[in-house]
Chains A and B, each alone.
Chain A
């Protein structure tokens, strides 16, 4: 078995992993290795052939492969070693990484590890849609792989459950390739996808978006022959009597993404039950010292640009850790009130610098105020004209504001006004 010692191991060569690697390099790390399970870097971006990436990060609108290429180029310019076709099997709490590829099994002792494994899609099983088990039911991402990477059309008549961005993008994609998308059903009263995708992927092709609707049965013995959809009530339960049968040979599921944290669990890292990712501090360090997390494995992002930004922070922090450790002051725990579903980071370890806090709300709000409360003092307040679960918000707490905090708890509260 191959035994190695490498300062920094980055698990995943997608937009997060590559951005972390580039940032770590620029912060002085030279002995590092990116481990990527696919045969190429770029991760899921390689199948996201649509445009809309990179406006924040590069000031231009790129397709997924083009965005990936920008980071591949930066990594190549720095001669950052990348091992593709390599799957990490285990990360131990003391940062021993076990990986396998066609050369064999490697055991790598690392000084720091950045976790950047991305996320996976919620499957039919997790939704418990009753009915038969025919072929023709795919997650939107699997269909995207067939269409965009392999050049095959998985079906001709399509219903899409869930109006997440991948589902919307696939509605347009399947339409352009000759399929008929009959409906997009969304159980919530609003779409979780970007407004522009509803416009350019559904409205452009007269595809109906059925809000407060879900698929309540699938039909067909061998291949899918149709689905039953129903209206749902405010508790997301199907309303009896509203069933409608739609014949189709394909059901695409775009019902949410789940951070892929099996390795994190194996390392004993504390996870946030809301995000499904690790609990991190402002440096993106997990509960395991020297193990950092970033990108969609930490929490599901709306935009890859923000993934890269977060990954750069994690990469830089890993470099600091390697060169002498990170400062630990009196930590603050961030406590969202529920209307604010979660914050990233969940804790602030050092109060020396400004900290940008990202958060997501649980519902659609208009004209609200977000307050950050420490003890009985409101240290920060900001008005939001609108907030939606589909859009990540952020605020910056200054080092001065943090230094004032007497209590170890920072409450994040959403109020009317």
Chain B
């Protein structure tokens, strides 16, 4: 794997460090131009960090302080999102959000948010009284007396968006290097050489730092210590699809100093999501859930929505928000060859399409010379194309492609054909979690109990590796240790 001494190191016009939603969106944006692009990712798949575990909300944009980068890119990004989601085949729904108030003080805060939203350019905002509120959302807590309604708020699956954006970039020629943990960056006259901890390296005429919670470390590698990242961990509970219809809107409480607080929202896939908590921490790889955090969510839910059956939890998870000490997004060039996209916490997902466009502009300003391609392919086939077919169409397709008639994941009705497609199509799913992120197999009620052994077999077969080399999420996350018989046993 490692580049031998004297070997020619491949040079790219742009190297993007980090395959989260910012890196993936940026890669896609740049792939509209004639240039060579490479995305580096420290994990085994795209969307392995903050983009894997967040609320999946496309915020309307009233929350960010006017004149901040957060405000600007949130509003711009969420306006772009419907079209991008359509092009990438990612489920997106403009379900609208509600911020609940419980007393007169809260109403004042809502009015402030309303004015802030107006100033940021958010369309359609309105403040509702208790009666109008309940007409719009029946399950809302009885104690809520007023609410800010933002009809342009939406929901999208953050990792599906990320994988699809990277896939679209790759369809248009971008390259993707996994398990590439950047350890050193050397600058010379006309390029940066970026080394991985395993010895591999690439050369970049220009680089984009989209490394999430590690973006300050990347900045330090090129000599920039102007900001630091303070990860904030958020825990979530995900409920069965039976509960997805309990609320229609994304429901927040009035924000406090700590942030937007715990939300209740349907997800784009039809589950119900509760969370997040907000816990500052030093470690950049600690995504543990805690009993206290999960209990905290459960204790707060009734203030927002009634009749949420916490019994129906199918999984809990935690994600890190890459908050910067500056409090705002950091989107700016450093010297002549790097553009930072750092401190991308909420509303980073919403802002990602606009941030990607801005990063491209900044690269051009630095001197990247290129022109738009005529052959850019914007459309990407959705991972859901098969399940969206009607029964007759499915039947006709299965006649020629029998793998699509073999159901592997019974909870989410995912066929072997769809799983093989996820394994074979760029960016290829190389592990169990990657298959899950693309197909939803294993994401249902049984959480992979029935389907994971079969998916493990398919992953092994397609990659030509033994079953005991198949992992849950790359690295050392093996699922099986050895064979039980034939001399391979423990």
Tell me the A residues contacting B by CB distance below 8 Å: 1-2, 37, 85, 87, 89, 98, 100-105, 107, 120-121, 123-126, 128, 130-136, 138-139, 141-142, 145-147, 149-156, 177-179, 216-217, 221-223, 238, 249, 258, 260, 262
Contact = CB atoms under 8 A, between A and B. Distances in A.
A136 B480 CA distance: 8
B485 interface: yes
A141 B413 CA distance: 20
A327 B469 CA distance: 59
A146 B452 CA distance: 10
Interface residues of B, number: 60
B413 A89 contact: yes
B473 interface: yes
Interface of B: 237-238, 285-291, 293-294, 313-317, 391-392, 394-396, 398-399, 402-403, 405-407, 410-411, 413, 415, 445-450, 452-453, 457, 467-468, 471-485, 489-490
14 contacts: A100-B415, A105-B391, A105-B392, A105-B398, A123-B446, A125-B315, A126-B314, A131-B290, A132-B286, A152-B468, A152-B480, A152-B483, A217-B291, A258-B445
Nearest to A102: B402
B485 A151 contact: yes
Given A123-B446, A126-B314, A98 B475 contact: no
B490 A126 contact: no
A123 B483 contact: no
A151 B406 contact: no
A155 B287 CA distance: 23
A149 B473 CA distance: 24
A104 B407 contact: no
Given A126-B313, A132-B287, A150-B467, 15 more contacts: A37-B407, A87-B410, A100-B405, A100-B407, A104-B394, A104-B399, A123-B447, A126-B447, A128-B316, A130-B288, A131-B290, A133-B287, A142-B453, A152-B468, A156-B490
A135 B317 contact: no
A107 B238 contact: no
Given A130-B289, A130-B294, A2 B480 contact: no
B394 A155 contact: no
Contacts of A146: 453, 479-480
Contacts of A139: 449
A282 B471 CA distance: 48
B449 A121 contact: yes
B471 A100 contact: no
- Of all A-B residue pairs in the complex, the 3 with the closest CB atoms, nearest first, are A125-B315, A102-B402, A135-B472
A125 B411 CA distance: 15
A88 B392 CA distance: 16
A146 to B, nearest CB: 6
B410 to A, nearest CB: 7
Contacts of B477: 134-135, 222-223
Contacts of A141: 449
Query: Which one of A125, A131, A147 has the greatest number of beta carbons of chain B within 10 Å?
Result: A125
Contact of B289 (A2, A89, A104, A131): A131
